[in-house]
Amino acid sequence: MGRRGSLPEPQSGLPSPCPRYKLLHPDSHMDVQGYRRVRWRVWLCRLGAALSLGLLLILFRWRQRLAVVARCRSCPLALADVLLLRDNCGHQYVVEVLAEEVDEGSAELALDAEESGEWRDTVQLHEEKKTLLRYYLFEGLRFVWLARKGSFCRVSVLNEDWTCNDLHRFRKGLSHREQSTRRQVYGSNLIDVPVKSYTKLLVEEVLNPFYVFQVFSITLWIVDEYYYYASCIFLISFLSISISLYETRKQSTTLRSMAQLISNVTVRRSSGEEACVSSVDLVPGDCLVIPREGMLLPCDAALLVGECMVNESMLTGESIPVLKTPLAVGEVRFDSESQRRHMLFCGTQLIQAKGGGSGGETATAVVTSTGFFTAKGDLVSSILYPQPINFRFYRDASKFLLFLGCVALFGTIYSLVILSRSNMTHSQLVIKALDIVTIVVPPALPAAITTGTIYAQRRLKKNGIFCISPPRINVCGKVSLFCFDKTGTLTEQGLDVWGVMEAVKGGFSELVPDPRLLPPGPTLSALACCHTVALLEGQALGDPLELKMIESTGWELTEPEGDGPALDSEFGGHRVLAVMRPPAAALQPNGVCVSEAVAIVRRFPFSSSLQRMSVVAAGPGGQPLVALVKGAPEMVASLCLRDTVPPQFSDTLRHFAGEGFRVLGLGYRTLDAGTDPSTVEREAVERDVCFLGLLVMKNPVKPESAEVIHTLRLAQLRTVMVTGDNILTAVNVARSCRMVGSEDRVIFVHAAPPSAQSAPVLRFHLGEGGPPSAQASVEVLTRGLYQSGVTYHLAVNGKSFAALCDHFPEYLPKVLMRATVFARMAPEQKTQLVTELQNLNYRVGMCGDGANDCGALRAADVGVSLSEAEASVASPFTSRSNNISCVPLLIREGRCSLVTSFSLFRYMALYSLIQFCSVLILYTMKTNLGDLQFLFFDMALVTLLAVVMGRGGPSQHLHPRRPPASLLTLPILGSLFVHTCVLVLGQVAALCITTSQDWFVPLNATTTGTANLPNMEDTSVFALSGFQYIIMAVVVTKGYPYKKPLYHNVVFLCSLLVLFGVMSWLVLHPGPVLGKVLQLYDIPDLNFKMLLVALAALNFLTCFVLEVMVDRGLLSCLRCLRGSRPSKKQYKRLDRLLAESPSWPPLNQPFASACFTDFGLS
């Protein structure tokens, strides 16, 4: 066994970009190293910590890997008591391996003695003198040691290979012994958010590198006799820590109260009895008995018997209740994502439950996941341990601090050389030199650059946009591509029935605009019964499409209450779930008479992967059972007998979809006599179906969509539609909302996976639309799309997208570069699309309603959920508006926040450099700034200006160019260098002008530092540097094109005027009292003072002109020296490559897969 192991990757699911992104799999790409403590090393570290007065422990806290290497030696994972985890983002974590004594029955936990697969493992426990279970906890998840695999695996791996039959076998319940055994292995069913004590929080906060540097600085200032300044900084730091501790504990307490759910539940035991137990004791395999009035679910469970109406708004932000139906029996591998319509998720509210089965058994479900392995635990974990934000601005900020550290090192060396010539002691020399470090590296810099984000978050909240991840606001400013869901996002949530086209012999009938005009028969029954709508207190709840469909028929939904047995006998003795009754004869159209009710006895809910739903219906008087199917027309047609599908099916579907209609296919099948609807499998119901016709529905585009999309395209932001609807409908909506221009061509991408007779193939074929002339079409085909001047867009469906990813990875980037419409996409494919676009270096935004888009919303750099909730864990941003008008606002605020962060960063850096230069100049003159002078600059000038600088709001328009995100670019570094040079020259000029005056009196050379105050040199440098702090606040505050002009920020403008007046007063006539307090020399020459003000004005004019010139490209000539370089972003390189390839994509030419070999055919 090696010393290094890795956590096993699941067989399905997408690779996670980062292991903290728990929507996929939390342990993918996690590297694990085992270590064992060495006693003499541990004691040696303790001795080192004592000798270093605890500094070694602080170092170990900052660098945990160093602590592990120092105290432990590497060993196999089987013997390790300390593990070092490292994810693919480079983050490292140290966890303790825990050993727990368990009962003998837990020595082998066999989930199925008869069957065993790769994941059907046995927990082999570490055998010592006692039976021990070895495991560790990481971010709330439990990982147990499996000797058979030679690694630590998530405890949930023990039930990941359960089949549907396995779950149904748990209907009998677990025995007390089995339950106890499983609890020892799985742990408690508790989402426990740690709430640390104030003492522990204080220690962790103080040991943060920022506050350690603060403590070092305050100690140094006190030793250097800067008592006022040190006291003020200490007070501010104390208040900051107190507020931070209070907010942190408050948030932890709130999250804990939201996450922790403890209640009493009823479980079934193997003996047949039902017991009331605490939800904390639940384990996977427990059989839950669900009360009729519903409950708040404390775990993830699969529904086995009955139906439940569930409110899942906590998870998805979707307020419409969802009907959950029983899981079918079968040897299919159980998967909670693909079988969501049978899953009851932790934290969701079960509004009501109905029993099922021929005996009227109460609704029951089997527990599948507990604790942090549940859906709610996953969401809580994403809040506690958010996905790291890979944003260049934050990376460059850290690098720039290292640069300032190098500047501080230079200043320290210079100070040592200059001050060593004076009569200072060695201790004073070291203190003065170290003081330079506290000046150059401003401890308030990290806090200052978040000011713009805080203001942006407040403005967003006022506009109904709520944010749970403030750092992502800056990321919004760099979004280059935005994906949009269609239904409910670009189009209205509700639909209107346009009409029904029945399949008749030889074709389709005329469009029947009112379904009530349909004759009695299976088509009318399908419209009335093929749904999952349920009643709650007499009100119909369900999918808006199905509600409209039922409303169009005029039929009434009723559900059995006290008359259940009577209804069962009325409809052939089958367990009735709901009854659809036709309208009264007086309400029916002339010539139509429908009198018989239809009972729904089994539901197979809609599945995104299957693209259909079905019900089993029964007529009164023992009539044969009928299966009614509704879904995507192509899918329904594929299930139908070929002779029942009209020859005009494809043309008719293409016509309606091309016009933007939502089209559903209908089918039916008479089931064999003796079929038991409670046990029949879905595959047996949905085969050999007879095609009934098409339901045509109008889904209008929201009025705001076209304008918003046009705004984004004018701003050079690429827009993409991702939907589960028909590809032609999606293309029509894309044209309606101006995502695809009226003159643009659409090219359909068709990729087919390999079959037994053929290899995978890829084709591009031209769709309809665009310029109507045949000549133009020929030109496109012969000369290439680029050469003909026609803009084109690719349209891809879910099947082709899957085939592209699996068999044509070499063409996938090119397709993604030109694709605008992605249709028939399953929820997991939406997530994969976002990830693939990010691999091309796009900053991807995603906007959806939160229902089927949760994965994509959380995977995107910027996810926006349209929901009525104030905040949703489905995405970082939640908008209360029901349209996409929030997207441009979010991008504008992001750009404003990013530019403000840049301005604040530059201002804080220039503030440090100004003060750094002032101190070095005064050190050279054997003096320094006074205690209160430092305090005046840092508190009254810099802090005030930094706080109010970020108040400026965003521009009203989106500029085509995005703001830069890197601090380490030529314009930024060049402007800092140029400004620093001008600022230094200004201070030197002020000093030279002072020393050249006839009345100048040199300071006392026998003393140094603040003992020489007041003096003329200090006063002149103080005067000019004070103006420079105000000057640079104006120069670095950028407005156009991302922010409103400076004069819109009234508070900032007033602060500038007031501070300029204060500085002018201090320079021209400070007065005896203020002059004494600030230790300023009273220079009687008014002309000299006016000269200093004029020098400050010249300094401002020079810096302002240079800043404008840098913005206009003054330093661009330096780039010519290095020559042109290709862009670092892959999508820009691909865009240029495609622009130079007029023959791509070649139309109607098959492509074979480069990675498909003869072995792949076998």
Residues marked as catalytic? 485
Per-residue 3-state assignment (H helix, E strand, C coil) for 694-754? EEEEECCECHHHHHHHHHHHHCCCEEEEECCCCHHHHHHHHHHCCCCCCCCEEEEEEEECC
Q: Are strands 141-146 and 131-138 parallel, antiparallel or unpaired?
A: antiparallel
SS3 label, residue 630 = strand
One-letter amino acid at 338 equals: S
Other beta carbons within 10 angstroms of residue 779's beta carbon come to 17
Torsion on CA atoms 449, 451, 452, 458, rounded to nearest 10: 150
Look up residue 523 and give its two tokens: 């088509």
Q: Rounded to an integer, what distance in angstroms lies between the CA atom of residue 828 and that of residue 856?
A: 8
Entry field: residues in the chain: 1162
Q: Show the CA angle centred on residue 485, arms to residues 479 and 487, nearest 5°.
A: 155
- The CA distance from 157 to 296, in Å, is 26
Answer whether 974's CB lies under 8 Å from 478's CB.
no
**Ramachandran angles phi, psi of 587, nearest 5°:** -95, -5
The burial of 819, by beta-carbon neighbours within 10 Å (0-12 exposed, 13-18 middle, 19 or more buried), is given as: buried
Q: What angle do CA 515, 519, 520 make, to 5 degrees?
A: 105
Task: Cite the DSSP H helix spans in 52-196.
Answer: 55-62, 64-71, 164-169, 176-186
Helix (H, G, I), strand (E, B) or coil at 994: helix
Instruction: Give the span between the Cα atoms of 793 and 731, in whole angstroms.
Output: 10
Q: Are 272 and 289 in contact (CB under 8 A)?
A: no
b/e 252-269 (16+ beta carbons within 10 angstroms → b): beebeebbebeeebbbbb
Strand 507-508 to 745-752 pairing: unpaired
Alpha carbon distance 20, 140 (integer Å): 12
Instruction: State phi, psi for 270 to the nearest 5 degrees.
Output: -65, -20
Distances (CA, A) of 10 to 27, 344, 395, 907, 1001: 9, 23, 32, 49, 80
DSSP letter assigned to residue 350 = E
d(CA 111, CA 120): 7
Q: List the alpha helices (DSSP H) in 1069-1085.
A: 1072-1077
The C-alpha atoms of residue 928 and residue 918 are separated, in whole angstroms, by: 8
Q: Which residues, 6 or more positions from 696, have their beta carbon under 8 angstroms from its beta carbon? A: 497, 498, 499, 500, 501, 511, 656, 661, 662, 663
> Which tokens in the block code for residue 330?
């079968």
| Measured distance CA(63)–CA(57) in Å, rounded | 10
Place of tokens 């775990």: 299
Q: How far apart are CA 367 and CA 1124, in angstroms?
A: 61
Non-local CB neighbours of 54 within 8 Å, separated by 6+ positions: none
792-797 vs 534-536, strand pairing mode:
unpaired
